[in-house]
Amino acid sequence: MSPAPREKPVWVPPGGPGGVERPSPVIFEVLGEEGVFELLADVYRRFDGTPIRHLFPPDLLAASERSAAFFVQLLGGPPLFNERHGPPRMRARHIPFEIDERARSVWLDCFEGAVEASAAAGVFPREEVAGFVAFLRGFSAWMVNVAPETDGV
């Protein structure tokens, strides 16, 4: 799916990507590759019907598999994303899409909801939820590429 041409200039959050701590490899040890793919499939199912649905291709499952490959690699599993899609360069890959704080918030709600549901089901390691959510919040802040509204200032 090709994004629509950008209407707004690309904004860079102040301070750069910062020192977001990588999530614990314990998550991958517990979930394994299959569990990470299942988690991301749940995240992407949650995007359906949200205000950010238009940012994703029609086939949400296929899109979830691309993200799952990134998270497998990030969590210490095999380098699936690099092998399938090249270097992650996530900010560059997201630049074509207008991502504001509202879109980030919806994305976070969906992701955090899936993580919490997985932890409640005894799948995602409960002791790793806070650290993983902290990573998601820091990571997603760097994906925002539309300046916040300044109320006319």
pLDDT in tens, 15-30: 766 678 999 999 999 9
Average pLDDT of span 126-141: 96
pLDDT of residue 152: 44
Q: What's the angle, vertex CA 90, arms to CA 20 and CA 87, rounded to 5? A: 110
DSSP letters, 21-39, are PPPPTHHHHHHHHHHHHHH
Reply yes or no on whether the pLDDT at 83 is more than 90: yes
pLDDT of residue 5: 64
**Lowest mean pLDDT, pick from 39-53, 68-82, 97-111, 135-149:** 135-149
DSSP letters, 46-94, are HHTTSTTGGGS-S-HHHHHHHHHHHHHHHTTS--HHHHHHS---HHHHH
Q: What radius of gyration do the chain's Cα atoms show?
A: 16
| Domains in the chain, CATH or no CATH each | 26-143 (1.10.490.10)
pLDDT in tens, 27-80: 999 999 999 999 999 999 999 999 999 999 999 999 999 999 999 999 999 999
* Model confidence band, residue 151 (pLDDT cutoffs 50, 70, 90): very low
> Whole-angstrom Cα distance, residue 117 to residue 25?
20
Question: Which residues make Cβ contacts (< 8 Å) with residue 135, sequence separation at least 6?
Answer: 20, 21, 22, 23
Confirm if 40 and 65 have CB atoms less than 8 A apart: yes
Reply yes or no on whether the pLDDT at 100 is more than 70: yes
